[in-house]
Chains A and B, each alone.
Chain A
Amino acid sequence: MRQSQTVLRIRGVTKRFGPLVANDDVSLELRRGEMLALLGENGAGKTTLMHILFGHYRADEGEVEVMGRPLPPGSPRAALDAGVGMVHQHFTLAANMTVLENVTVGTRPLFSARLRQGAARRRLADLSARFGLHVDPDARVRDLSVGQRQRVEILKALYRDTRILILDEPTAVLTPQEGEQLFATLRLLVNRGLAVILITHKLREVMAASDRCVVLRHGRVVLRTATHETDADTLARAMVGGEVPRVGRRPGEPGAEVLALDGAVLCDDGGRTLLDGLNLTLRAGEILGIAGVSGNGQAALADMVSGLLRPQAGELRVHGRAVAAPSPAGMLALGVGRVPEDRIGTGLVGDLSVMENLVLEIYRQRPWSRWGLLDFSAMRRGARELIARFDVRCQGPGAPARQLSGGNMQKLILARVLSGNPSVILANQPTWGLDVGAATFVHKALMEASRAGAGVLLISEDLDEIFQVADRIQVMHRGRLSAPVRPDEADAAAIGLAMSGHGDARSEAARAS
């Protein structure tokens, strides 16, 4: 009966931020040797709940019990000592330190002076072997792949005798194969009595891996069920509180070439190759999906299409004409609209108002300015129109852009890009961090633009998204693109293989079997 021992009990936790109730009377239980999936859209309160459990926040009401003992609130140290380990979505590893250093930092009282690395090294090697988490203890973290870094994070938790392991969106950064390997590891851990909480919104993973599900919406628990008694549709409906909107596909009618890269080569200052003779053709009226794990040259590709970088060899063509000296303004003038990856950093100017952000790329033109002076009444009128058309939720044209939520920021960027009727649209991770509703809006807007004749270059790490909206799919790996395939001809496994580079993928598969 050891299997049913309750290791974690959260009772009636409520957390308010001003008028916003992030967690509203949330209760849940976790037993030894089970995997619980915690689901919900962005802003549903999953992360807040985990921050409370881990001691980053104090709950306004309610309590947390670990192994039958109340957990003192507001202390990460206490949570760690009680056996709660967390693998954050953004890893908490110092890149310049070695694996061993990252694992051992803070594990002993600070003032026992000696490191005693010998014992630590043996313990780490033992854990690696026991759970198949192979990683070189003396490697610097910066030299590790994302999948390896995640292994280090898990090892870090295991090293501290974690009994409750929380993983926040663990597969967001992994190839499908790496994801499978991760779940194999987690299964092993659960079978040995660890309790795992998996925070995710990928229903496929939930159905495949978890034992029980808890769905949060608007800070409340709306569904609590055993996984084998439910299905993905039910969970999705619980998450969004109604029917899931679907994006309709349409038969592609590709037109003339609007954007092309021919043997584009780019190296960074350190001589590392970012783009390795990349070929790409985007046609009018199609959505070309570029899949791949980030860090394989997507940023360089996006910067090149934006006019921020010029290829060191090869050619960039827009509408069939070579662009000799690309610049951001030049690419804009050629009709290239950009939805950048980093909304707050490069997409918007947070301290400028909504209307100012809307004219950021065209403020020199009439009617937005005359004789060098901005015409604010024209800007306000134009902004009102776009706010209504793109359903940007904000206090008005004068509201600072930084006050907007992530989804509304993206709508604002789309409003700016699409109102210019671009013939090429670069959309880099356009739905990253957005909830299902906002993501659907983005997908619809991109599909509408392509139907109207624009070529859309969609760079995304989210395979589901690519399969859902793209007409052709290419996979980016180490600065090169795989041959294009149509989504109905492609299968996810083959795409995943290409994402990890063919050779690697085979060996990974061999190791897993």
Chain B
Amino acid sequence: MEAALIVPLLAAAVQSGTPILFATLGEMFTERAGVLNLGVEGMMVVGALAAFLTAQATGSPWLGLLAAGCAAALVGGLHGVVCLHFLGNQTVSGLALTIFGVGLANYLGTPFIGQRAPGFEPFDVPVLSAIPLLGDILFRHDALVYLSFLLPPLFWLFWHRTRPGLALTAAGEYPRAASAAGLNPVALRWAGILAGGFLVGLGGAYLSLAYTHLWTNGMTAGRGWIAVALVIFAFWRPGRAMFGAYLFGGVMAFQLRLQASGTDVPSSFLLMLPYALTVLALVLSALRGRGASSSAAPAALGVNIEPEG
């Protein structure tokens, strides 16, 4: 009886946590290279629109996915130009990027409101989906969810077991160390911005091609901001990001279900829950992190690279 209630809720948590997971890993990637990009919300919504339009025009959700990544990376590139070449303030540039991205998507997307596009359909993974409970929670989703399962371990391997990962770490921790080693920290940070932007775009694509198959304006609904907060909550670690994304996904799904069940609790209160949890999570992680000598944040996060000499 209980499983009948909880299993669908957990499955819904995974589903609604997936776009947040993509966006969180994307922002984490960029931040670990030393660039704070508060434009996640704007990049994500542009990605969602690019995915929708491309899939509608070509009939291929996979091309839509690719377009989403590229579009978000392109928007993120504006941040790169401002911060890496004109040494602009990263916080201000990121905020502007969000306002720009949301406005652009609303402007371009309005004619398509309510239209449908071909998207990703759920399918059961053979064998694995037959596992009791776990199979129902994890293996009856669409291809993007399965892709997102692979990302945290790949992310970890990249940052801890490859040379490019080490070089990007140096760019985020102490750009002078990278340049003294003969690397170009500006180029490394460009890579961080573009690759991270691509991942953020995939999160947007999930919203318009898998979570729904249609376009509505403002469909990210603050998920980009939750991703920014989750990076801190996760202490810049991909495994914790996965946990955090599903936790938030769970609260969002729970809130929807509660509304649908016709509870007396006002819907505005329920809608507030994920964001209240964001604040709570940040306070808790700040309390936990305080005093610990090992700060998890990249040491040069948000610090621009001044020209040498």
Contacts and interface: CB of A to CB of B under 8 A. Distances in A.
Partners in one complex: yes
Contact of A94 (B161, B170, B309): B170
A115 B173 contact: no
B291 to A, nearest CB: 4
Interface string B169-184: 1100110111111110
B167 interface: yes
12 contacts: A80-B181, A94-B173, A97-B169, A97-B170, A97-B173, A97-B177, A104-B166, A105-B169, A105-B170, A105-B177, A105-B183, A109-B163
B174 A113 contact: no
B164 interface: yes
Contact of B174 (A76, A86, A95, A115): A95
Contacts of A112: 163
Nearest to B298: A96
A411 B181 CA distance: 38
A200 B103 CA distance: 58
B264 interface: no
Contacts of B163: 108-115
Contacts of B178: 105-106
A88 B180 contact: yes
Interface of A: 51, 56-57, 76-77, 79-81, 86, 88, 90, 92-97, 101-102, 104-115, 140, 142, 156, 269-272
Q: What size tier do the contact residues of chain B reach? A: 20 to 34
B177 A94 contact: yes
B182 A113 contact: no
B183 A92 contact: no
B177 A93 contact: yes
The 8 A-B pairs at the shortest CB distance, nearest first, are namely: A106-B181, A94-B173, A92-B180, A94-B174, A77-B182, A270-B291, A80-B182, A106-B183
A102 B177 contact: yes
Nearest to B293: A270
Given A57-B309, A77-B182, A270-B292, A105 B176 contact: no
Given A96-B295, A97-B173, 18 more contacts: A56-B308, A92-B180, A92-B181, A95-B173, A96-B173, A101-B166, A105-B167, A105-B178, A107-B181, A108-B163, A110-B163, A115-B163, A115-B166, A140-B294, A142-B293, A270-B292, A270-B293, A272-B293
B162 interface: yes
A3 to B, nearest CB: 29
Which of B166, B308, B309 has the most chain A CB within a 10 Å cutoff? B166
Interface in B91-114: none
B166 A95 contact: no
Interface in B282-305: 290-295, 298-299
Contacts, number: 89
A201 B295 CA distance: 37
B87 to A, nearest CB: 18
Contact of A269 (B167, B173, B176, B290): B290
A57 B309 CA distance: 8
A421 B294 CA distance: 44
Contacts of B299: 94-96
A90 B299 CA distance: 16
A90 B170 CA distance: 16
Contacts of B293: 142, 270, 272
A80 B178 CA distance: 13
A159 to B, nearest CB: 10
A310 to B, nearest CB: 20
B160 to A, nearest CB: 8
Contacts of A110: 163-164, 167, 183
A56 B163 CA distance: 24
Contacts of A88: 180
Contacts of B291: 269-271
A97 B176 CA distance: 14
Contact of A76 (B166, B169, B173, B180): B180
A94 B181 contact: no
Contact of B167 (A56, A76, A96, A106): A106
A428 B173 CA distance: 29
Contacts of A76: 179-180, 182
A80 B182 CA distance: 7
A115 B164 contact: no
B94 to A, nearest CB: 23
Contacts of A56: 308-309
Contact of B166 (A90, A96, A105, A272): A105
Contacts of B170: 94, 97, 105-106
Which of B176, B180, B299, B308 has the most chain A CB within a 10 Å cutoff? B180
B294 to A, nearest CB: 8
A160 B182 CA distance: 11
B99 to A, nearest CB: 30
B162 A106 contact: no
A115 B162 contact: yes
Nearest to A269: B291
Contacts of B169: 94, 97, 101, 105
Contacts of A113: 162-164
A80 B180 CA distance: 9
B33 to A, nearest CB: 13
A140 to B, nearest CB: 8
A102 B309 CA distance: 21
B242 to A, nearest CB: 22
Contacts of A102: 177
Contacts of A270: 291-293
Which of A102, A105, A114 has the most chain B CB within a 10 Å cutoff? A105
A210 B265 CA distance: 81
A76 B182 CA distance: 5
